[in-house]
């Protein structure tokens, strides 16, 4: 498919397709007349890119996932982890507000409790590397 066809079928602008192509996210071949021809699976790749962008991933992160051949199951797991992280982040903001006005002894107690939890978080992060 030529870039115009891809844009029309995917709803993604030709400029964005050019950007993704130049970033190495989309494969293409050259025709005899030097047009870029995209395979039909480019539509699925564009859809995956859009999903990953909604998760606020950078182009470099998306490129890593696409080049590594991330499976739908992997992406589902990543979605779940990101959703949970976002929920926790919102809860942390609420707790920070509550701790602002808390007495010093309550802050110290919370600090000690969090220190022990950091080991679990560090172990989880180690699994991701």
- Output the six-digit token pair for 106: 């309550």
Q: Say whether both 60 and 77 belong to one domain.
A: no
98 and 112: one domain? Answer: yes
Indicate whether 23 and 43 sit together in one domain.
yes
pLDDT at 70: 57
Question: 21-63, pLDDT tens digit by residue?
Answer: 999 899 999 999 999 999 988 998 898 898 888 888 889 888 8
Distances (CA, A) of 54 to 23, 28, 59, 70: 18, 25, 12, 16
- Asked whether the predicted pLDDT for residue 12 surpasses 90, the reply is yes
The total domain count for the chain is 2
Q: Are residues 79 and 43 in the same domain?
A: no
Within this chain, do residues 32 and 49 fall inside the same structural domain, yes or no?
yes
d(CA 102, CA 114): 16
pLDDT tens column, 86-97: 888 888 888 888
Residue pair 13/53 in contact by the 8 Å Cβ criterion: no
Residues 62 and 115 in one domain: no
Give me the domain span that covers residue 44. Answer: 3-68
Same domain, 7 and 60: yes
Are residues 33 and 77 located together in one domain of the fold? no
Percentage of the chain modeled with pLDDT above 90: 32
């Amino acid at each position: 498919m030529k870039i115009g066809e891809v844009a029309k079928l995917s709803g993604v602008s030709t400029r964005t397709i050019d950007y993704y192509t130049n970033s190495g996210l989309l494969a293409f071949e050259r025709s005899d007349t030097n047009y870029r021809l995209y395979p039909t699976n480019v539509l699925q790749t564009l859809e995956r890119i859009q999903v990953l962008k909604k998760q606020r991933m950078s182009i470099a992160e998306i490129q890593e996932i696409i080049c590594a051949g991330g499976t739908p199951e992997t992406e589902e797991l990543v979605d779940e982890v990101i959703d949970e992280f976002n929920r926790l982040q919102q809860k942390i903001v609420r707790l920070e507000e509550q701790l602002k006005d808390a007495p010093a002894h309550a802050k110290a107690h919370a600090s000690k409790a969090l220190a022990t939890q950091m080991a679990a978080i560090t172990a989880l992060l180690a699994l991701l590397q």
